[in-house]
Structure 1
């Protein structure tokens, strides 16, 4: 891992296609940065702020964005593989289409996020805040959503197979129609509704 860059501010810079391998940033600010088609591998960003940053078509592998803040940033066709975003928050960001495979997104704040059509597979998302989020038509498979905040979430036509739905209260959801689950998950949802399985 390279030396940690700490407390720096980067503004309106063109980092198109930049390759950031095992770089480390702490409490840095990135504003108006173009990271289109950039690549991170083994990079670590801790308590950094990203404002109006373009992550379009960027690829992130085994990188960490810990307790970071993303504001009005664009993630069009971005991919995260095996990344850790524990404690990070997203506000007014464009998050679709987005692909997340593996990694740990626990305690991430995504309230009201438009995530329809995104792909999330095999991700640890314990206690993630998806209050009022739109996951219509998304694929959220094999994902640990235990303890998640799902009040007002829309999962119409969402593929939820193999995901932990113990925190889903169907009575507070904005939409469940045609969501895809397996029989074991149906039992969990029935119990959430107060049914006794006999």
Structure 2
């Protein structure tokens, strides 16, 4: 991931700004606030947002590549049809956000706060999500393929018909999750069986 190339903009407040379709490349924002802004169809590349707050922001059909949103708080934002590729959202929190459909490929979402989020049918492919908080999240029909979920908080997570192959499920307690119809590999099945205290013998 490339670093931002411009001098950082610090502690500024943006209210109802129109960023529709804008190309945001190499920028850096620190502790800024964005309220009721429109980032629909915007594209970010190699940009960094550090400890920023986004409130009621529209990210509809936006595309983010090799950008970072570390420690950012997203409140009541809309990510309809948004894509993140190779992005870093370590410690980002999502509160009352519309996250469907969302596609995430690569990058690091460790420690992300997604408790109670509606993540049905979203796609996370090859993403690092260590110690992410997915407590009570509804991930029915979602894809978590080759995702590092080690240490993740998965209590009461709903994963019916989810695609989980290739992901680290060591933090998942099958007794405290909904897994009906979820797709796992034989190796993952062995991990889940072991977590239930069972021993498999030929």
**Per-residue deviation at 1:197?**
3.3
Aligned counterpart, 1:40: 44
Q: 2:118 aligns with which of 114, 117, 123?
A: 114
- State the alpha-carbon separation in 2 of the partners of residues 25 and 179 from structure 1: 40
Q: Which residue of 2 aligns with 1:191?
A: 194
Over residues 107-149 of structure 1, what are the superposed CA-to-partner deviations in whole Å (9 max), with x where a residue is unaligned? 0000000000001100000000000000000111000000000
Provide the secondary structure at the position in 1 that maps to 2:158.
coil
9, 14, 23: which is aligned to 2:18? 14
What residue number does 1:103 align with?
A: 107
Paired with 1:4 and 1:15, the residues of 2 have a C-alpha distance of: 18
Q: Confirm or deny that 1:176 pairs with 2:175.
A: no
Task: Give the one of 159, 173, 179 matched to 2:163.
Answer: 159
Measure the CA separation in 2 of the matches of 1:51 and 1:170.
Answer: 35
Match of 1:92 among 92, 96, 115: 96
Q: Residue 49 in 1 paired to residue 53 in 2? A: yes
Query: For residues 3-52 of structure 1, what are the alpha-carbon distances to aligned partners after superposition, in whole Å with 9 as ceiling and x for unaligned?
Result: 10000000011110011001000000000000000000000000000000
Report 1:71-86 matches (<5 A).
71-86=75-90
Structure 1 residue matching 2:118: 3-state secondary structure: coil
Q: Does 1:31 find its partner at 2:35?
A: yes
Computed over aligned residues only, the root mean square deviation of the Cα atoms, in angstroms, reads: 0.5
Q: TM-score, normalised by structure 2?
A: 0.97
Where structure 2 has 5 or more consecutive residues not aligned to the other structure, the ranges are: none
Q: 1:13, 1:63 → 2: CA distance?
A: 20
Secondary structure of the corresponding residue to residue 183 of structure 2: coil
Alpha-carbon distance between aligned partners in 2 of 1:18 and 1:180, rounded to the nearest angstrom: 39
SS at match of 1:184: helix
Distance between the aligned counterparts of 1:148 and 1:43, measured in 2? 27
Aligned pairs, number: 197
Specify which of 117, 134, 138 is matched with residue 138 of structure 2: 134
